[in-house]
Structure 1
Amino acid sequence: MVACPATTTVDALHHNHLLISRQSISESREGLLIFQKCGSIKHLKQIHAHLLRTGLAHNPILVTKLLTLCSSYRKLQYATLIFNQMQNPPTFTWNVMIRAHTRNGSPTFALLLYTLMLNRGVPPDKFTFPFVIKACLNSFSVKEGKQVHAHVVKSQFAGDIFVQNTLMDLYLKCGDLEFARLMFDKMRVRNVVSWTTMVSGLVFCGELETASAIFEAMSVRNVVSWTTMVNGYARNGRIQEAFELFRRMQLENVRPNEFTLVSLLLACTEVGSLRLGSWIHEFARKNGFEMGIFLGTALIDMYSKCGSIDDAIKVFDQMPMRSLVTWNSMITSLGVHGRGNKAIALFGEMEKAKVKPDEITFIGVLSACVNECMVDKGYGFFINMTKHYGIKPTVGHYVCMVDLLGRAGMLDEAYELVKNMTVEPHVDVWGALLRACKTNGNIKLEEVVYKHILELDSSKEGHVICNSAQQQLQCFGWEVG
């Protein structure tokens, strides 16, 4: 439950005015110079100590700057400690704290801060509400969002277009299309962001026809508007319409951005069209697009799934910067295309580059070990995953290990692994062991495994297990060639 905002009083406004007096502003100008060379959390704590020693720790502008830097270093506990030591923090300082918690994955705490702010009689401003609304969105709290909407109206910020757009985004992404459309229709003034928010939200909710109608009604469209519709068509399998819209975009002299091309590459990947994907790549080259993380990763994915692993490798080698997703995509692609040794070598390069792997990385690495039948290496990676990186094995990792041991004929070891799993054995794990038994002709263990299968919910899973190994490959979502 979000509290109702208190009525702004003359005393409150006067108090805020006194906080930011001429002397305070003068102190702030001198103090802000200290922050310019801050490059680490250690340095930040030294600056905080300096503010305490010099008596500037009560300057709201300097403390707000301190809190902003704490947020950028994701040190919210330290920021909260500083904030709690402030006497009567002004609105803009509350805004910084609410935004910090919203952006750093604690939206519920952001909403608690907002409630505390209101209970203390601190008046919100037009910058407060977008942060609070985003906190409602990030916590899927549409009920609280409607309460904040009521606060917006009472605080006389209902006509602020930025607040309106943020509210509309909340309703759309929480699936309340009726409320979102009501807001959109009642807006006296709409900018391109308003229209694009509506189009994007409808696409997100799968209302492509309505989104298309609103898109066509727009008098002014920017690259985000076009890309939103292109992406909507691509993700819903309407490939021809995605490319037709891209052609219209060019005819209207709207330069696409990286995300436009990524959407088109997604479409190419969906239909397995290497020709169209290569054409998008050539378009990017001719039009001066840098090989950014998103575009590069999308190209790797497209080339791999369309059967051209060598082109995927070229793109990877040309990328000046790579994300974890980029490394994962390339490692998995090499493994799927039967280049397990190269996939494992690439994982070694990834470790040297100080990129921390995740559970998806190890799925790719273990799959590569399966394809090359490297039992010892596979076991090593499986153990190291938990011991060195603290990643708990998932069902996918156990499936890879059972496949690996099964291909090496080590069925007893595979069965022991399944019995000692740290998670409940899943249909895919038993399926992998059953296939291994059939391949190796171990009828005795096959009967044991089949008894475990019968204990599963046959209406949902039983028939899946008895399918061929080809169906197991399809569960990875790869359509190579």
Structure 2
Amino acid sequence: MKVACCTPDTINVPYFRTSETKRFGSQEALMFLEKCSNFKQLKQVHGKIIRFGLTYDQLLIRKLVQLSSSYGKLNYATLVFDQLNAPDAFTWNVMIRAYTISGSPEKGILLFKDMLCHGFEPDKFTYPFVINACMASSALDFGRGVHALAIKMRFWGDLYVQNTMMNLYFKCEDVDDGCKVFDKMRVRNVFSWTTVIAGLVASGKLDAARELFEQMPSKNVVSWTAMIDGYVKYKQPIEAFNLFERMQDENVRPNEYTVVSLVKACTEMGSFKLGKRIHDFSLNNGFEIGPFLGTALIDMYSKCGSLYDARTVFDTMKARNLATWNTMITSLGVHGFRNEAITLFEEMEKANEVPDAITFVGVLSACVHMNNLEQGQKYFNLMTDHYGITPILEHYTCMIELYTRANNLDEVSTSGNTGSLSIEENHNVAELLLESKLTSIDDIQKLIHKHCGDLGFSELALDHSSTSSSEMQVDISQTNR
């Protein structure tokens, strides 16, 4: 069969500078695939592979599948795979893995079912790939079936299979079965011990995790960090630092995750001085202040009262992610620098970083503190209309606060009522807005107007619960007044 999108008759191959008469074999094809830097080049190489009759070579097919999926072309990878009449187990494994890492683990599970139905036998590497697909799709019940099949097919003795299965149980919060796998393992490696410790930590069983941690025959930085992070997560920062001191005494070098856990411990303790020491430690030990560590430092400095240090970290970072921008915007707003928070949001847009719901909580909160209803309406419209973000409770709460503070309720009362809402009423109306899924500024304003005029809550709910989604679209021309 030929791949329709790159048949030999239609493909142009300027990427190759070989004559048609020169032999093009598997080694040459693999070499060209290794040099591919984009999907267009990959299709050119694939066309050459078809032209020279190399589609039987499963090594080339596996490489095509891997590269196609890495370029986000999963359908093309599937098409390539489907050309094979009898894929070997390794090729099935590559395709299952490609589905999982490309965000379609359910298709990976279906492919494994097809593999069994067509009589192809899995090997010991198939099971971890399928179990990872189960983990990514939270398919615990199917994972149990894979567990049973691995035992039946005598692959259960493989340490990699056991570790992956144990990880699935813990990730799906089945702590008992995860521990049973660990207890029955005849051979364990550091990953086995670390998996069970991390699983127990995640489920809140710190004492059990610590007991196993102390029994570990050898510990690496991952196992130390898992235990340190557990103490931080469950608000025992002193224990986290005690463990870190032991880690240093045993000459285990921390990694970025260890340092981030310690920064979070400083945040929990509210200790600026200790946080500064950890920051200096990271710089002196060659840690790059990237998005992960940098965001933790910004949050720590902000919550410890030093916005100057938080902004210094932000400004010196070479790379930032969405969490970094959100943390800095929120920090500016919390410390009273509302105009700066709005300015930073605009810089974020210029940097082509797409905001999320959390970003707009910070932006709308800044508008509330500035008592600027017009800006609040502008950014609420931007959020819903331009970015397509569904409002959450915090967004509605900000809008209600803006309307009541600005007294912009069309002079609702003729009896001198100012139209102010109590904190409890504010929350109730916000919940009603969330339930009604209103995104039109006019609809939101009308509902607040009615509630402020003491219309019965049940009547309001009845009035707006029947509002169709088609009537709730944002009309920029009407709302930007």
TM-score of the superposed pair, with normalisation by structure 1: 0.80
Distance 1:301 1:159, change over 3 A: same
Shift, 1:134, TM fit: 1.1
Within the candidate set 195, 198, 212, 1:214 is matched to 212
Q: Which amino acid aligns with 2:182?
A: F
Q: Give CA-to-partner distance per residue, 1:428-461, whole Å, 9 cap, x none.
A: xxxxx99x99xxxx9x8535266359979xxxxx
1:234 partner SS: helix
Q: Which amino acid aligns with 1:402?
A: I
Cα pair 1:393 1:422 within 8 Å, conserved: no
Q: Give CA-to-partner distance per residue, 1:320-364, whole Å, 9 cap, x none.
A: 111111111111111121112111211222122221222222222
1:288 partner SS: coil
Shift, 1:43, TM fit: 3.1
Distance 1:325 1:449, change over 3 A: farther
Percent of residue pairs identical: 54
Equivalent-residue separation in structure 2 for 1:319 and 1:304 (angstroms): 16
Q: Which amino acid aligns with 1:369?
A: C
Distance 1:359 1:380, change over 3 A: same
Cα pair 1:363 1:396 within 8 Å, conserved: yes
Corresponding residue number in structure 2 for 1:460: none
Within the candidate set 417, 424, 431, 2:435 is matched to 424
Corresponding residue number in structure 2 for 1:325: 323
Corresponding residue number in structure 1 for 2:296: 298
Equivalent-residue separation in structure 2 for 1:41 and 1:382 (angstroms): 39
1:355 partner SS: coil
Equivalent-residue separation in structure 2 for 1:161 and 1:52 (angstroms): 40
Q: Which amino acid aligns with 2:162?
A: Q
Equivalent-residue separation in structure 1 for 2:405 and 2:43 (angstroms): 56
Q: Give CA-to-partner distance per residue, 1:89-142, whole Å, 9 cap, x none.
A: 221221112112222322222111111111111121122111111112222222
Equivalent-residue separation in structure 2 for 1:453 and 1:201 (angstroms): 49
Distance 1:332 1:177, change over 3 A: same
Within the candidate set 450, 457, 460, 1:451 is matched to 457
Shift, 1:367, TM fit: 1.7
Distance 1:80 1:358, change over 3 A: same
Corresponding residue number in structure 2 for 1:193: 191
Corresponding residue number in structure 2 for 1:183: 181
Q: Which amino acid aligns with 2:359?
A: T
Corresponding residue number in structure 2 for 1:476: none
Distance 1:272 1:185, change over 3 A: same
Corresponding residue number in structure 2 for 1:366: 364
Equivalent-residue separation in structure 2 for 1:411 and 1:271 (angstroms): 44
Cα pair 1:134 1:166 within 8 Å, conserved: yes
Corresponding residue number in structure 2 for 1:110: 108
Cα pair 2:396 2:434 within 8 Å, conserved: no
Distance 1:338 1:46, change over 3 A: farther
Equivalent-residue separation in structure 1 for 2:43 and 2:384 (angstroms): 34
Cα pair 2:451 2:460 within 8 Å, conserved: no
Does 2:67 align with 1:69? Answer: yes
| Higher RCO, Cα 8 Å, sep 6+ | 1
Q: Which amino acid aligns with 2:314?
A: F
Equivalent-residue separation in structure 2 for 1:445 and 1:412 (angstroms): 13
Shift, 1:71, TM fit: 1.6
Alignment of 1:77-476 (within 5 A): 77-412=75-410, 423-425=434-436, 445-448=451-454, 451=457
Q: Give CA-to-partner distance per residue, 1:37-67, whole Å, 9 cap, x none.
A: 3222333333333333333333221121111
Corresponding residue number in structure 1 for 2:51: 53
Equivalent-residue separation in structure 1 for 2:373 and 2:233 (angstroms): 39
Q: Which moves more between the two structures, 239-248 or 138-147?
A: 138-147
Aligned residue-pair number = 417
Equivalent-residue separation in structure 1 for 2:331 and 2:250 (angstroms): 37
Cα pair 1:95 1:131 within 8 Å, conserved: yes
1:448 partner SS: coil
Distance 1:339 1:30, change over 3 A: same
Equivalent-residue separation in structure 2 for 1:225 and 1:69 (angstroms): 33
Shift, 1:285, TM fit: 2.0
Cα pair 1:301 1:329 within 8 Å, conserved: yes
Equivalent-residue separation in structure 1 for 2:460 and 2:231 (angstroms): 43
Q: Which moves more between the two structures, 215-224 or 368-377?
A: 368-377
Cα pair 1:395 1:425 within 8 Å, conserved: no
Shift, 1:263, TM fit: 1.0
1:194 partner SS: helix
Distance 1:164 1:412, change over 3 A: farther
TM-score of the superposed pair, with normalisation by structure 2: 0.80
Q: Give CA-to-partner distance per residue, 1:265-290, whole Å, 9 cap, x none.
A: 22222232222222211221222221
Q: Give CA-to-partner distance per residue, 1:372-429, whole Å, 9 cap, x none.
A: 23333332222222333232333332222222233222135999xx79x985259xxx
Equivalent-residue separation in structure 1 for 2:455 and 2:160 (angstroms): 60
Cα pair 1:262 1:294 within 8 Å, conserved: yes
Corresponding residue number in structure 2 for 1:462: none
Equivalent-residue separation in structure 1 for 2:255 and 2:105 (angstroms): 31
Cα pair 1:405 1:413 within 8 Å, conserved: no
Cα pair 1:173 1:205 within 8 Å, conserved: no
Equivalent-residue separation in structure 2 for 1:422 and 1:61 (angstroms): 57
Shift, 1:294, TM fit: 0.9
Shift, 1:150, TM fit: 1.7
Cα pair 2:135 2:171 within 8 Å, conserved: yes
Q: Which moves more between the two structures, 218-227 or 154-163?
A: 154-163
Shift, 1:245, TM fit: 0.5
Q: Which amino acid aligns with 1:424?
A: E
Equivalent-residue separation in structure 1 for 2:127 and 2:250 (angstroms): 36
